[in-house]
């Protein structure tokens, strides 16, 4: 049950893991990673990525996650980033706390990709 409780996040996480799906990366996506990321991060990237529906679900779950955090931390508030067009959060709704700390829902999406990729890789080795 999604009631904005901390426990609801565990239920939502299990549901999300049951819904995500992967697709093969395109040749151009793989080439771009090889040219732009492999040297910087010195790692081999997966040839799979979350499909569009899964990405959308992760963003939605990220928004719910942020709202749960906000409801349990009254000093946090939603704010749209309208300064700094070069910032990655420009134009996005973020949670902002005292001291300027920000959390953007798409951050959850990015972390989800890493988690799903690692779990998929671990499962393929079992």
- pLDDT tens, position by position, 99-111: 777 777 665 555 5
Is 42 a member of any domain? yes
Report the distance separating Cα 49 and Cα 110, nearest Å. 11
54: pLDDT strictly greater than 70: yes
Is 72 a member of any domain? yes
Regarding pTM above 0.75, the answer is: no
Is 1 a member of any domain? no
* Segment 36-47, tens digit of pLDDT: 876 666 667 788
Q: Are 82 and 39 in contact (CB under 8 A)?
A: no
Is 29 a member of any domain? yes
What domain range includes position 100? 6-125
Helix axes 6-19, 52-71, angle to 10 degrees: 180
| Tokens standing for residue 41 | 């991060």
Give the count of domains, the chain: 1
Is 40 a member of any domain? yes
Strand order in the sheet with 93-96: 77-80, 93-96, 102-104
95: pLDDT strictly greater than 50: yes
């Amino acid at each position: 049950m999604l009631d904005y409780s901390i426990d609801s996040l565990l239920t939502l996480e299990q549901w999300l893991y049951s819904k995500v799906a992967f697709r093969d990366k395109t040749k151009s996506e793989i080439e771009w990673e090889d040219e732009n990321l492999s040297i910087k991060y010195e790692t081999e990237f997966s040839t799979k990525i979350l499909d569009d529906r899964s990405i959308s679900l992760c963003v939605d779950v990220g928004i719910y996650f942020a709202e749960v955090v906000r409801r349990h931390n009254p000093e946090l508030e939603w704010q749209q980033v309208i300064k700094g067009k070069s910032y990655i959060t420009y134009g996005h709704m973020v949670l902002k706390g005292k001291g300027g700390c920000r959390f953007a829902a798409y951050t959850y999406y990015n972390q989800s990709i890493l988690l799903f990729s690692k779990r998929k890789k671990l499962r393929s080795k079992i």
